[in-house]
Amino acid sequence: MDENVKFNSVEEYFNAQPENVKNVLLQMKRCILKVVPEAKALLNYNIPAFALIEDGKREQQIMIAGYKNHVGLYPHPTTIEKFEAELNDYKKGKGSVQFPIDKPLPVELIEKMVEYRLSLLT
């Protein structure tokens, strides 16, 4: 995807993705909304973000992004640390994890990560 494209909405971001990436991103969105139905979708750093609390700033959001071979989940460094052992099979950064497009998404793990991040904010 062209990194110079500026998106105007989360929906526009999703629709700009290849179908296989879009489907996994929508699955990740469902995981987040299952745990926090009132999460507000917005763009942050030109990628989808979900404010876990009302008017949540960057530290109170979980972001997701699509790439050619993986989707990224950005739940915050404290969440990555907490779930370090369960994320051993995935490529990780300080505050992110990559889930390959060609493997099943670990839905229950993502939901537990969202629940944990929310618990730190409320």
Where residue 97 sits, what CATH number does that domain have? 3.90.1150.200
The parent domain of residue 60 ranges over 10-121
Contact 105, 122 (CB under 8 A): no
Query: What is the C-alpha end-to-end distance of the chain, expressed in Å?
Result: 36
In a domain, 99, yes or no: yes
Asked if the structure places residue 49 within a domain, the reply is: yes
pTM above 0.75, yes or no: yes
For a pLDDT cut of 70, what percent of the chain falls above it?
98
Mean pLDDT, the chain, integer: 94
Percentage, residues of the chain above pLDDT 90? 89
pLDDT at 58: 86
In angstroms, what CA-CA distances link 109 with 9, 13, 20, 90, 117?
27, 24, 21, 12, 12
CA atoms within 13 A on the CB side of 67: 10
Say if 3 falls within a structural domain.
no
Q: How confident is the model at residue 2 (pLDDT cuts 50, 70, 90)?
A: low
In tens, the pLDDT along 92-103 reads: 999 999 999 999
Please count the structural domains in the chain.
1
At 95 the pLDDT is 93
Does 1 have pLDDT greater than 60?
Answer: no
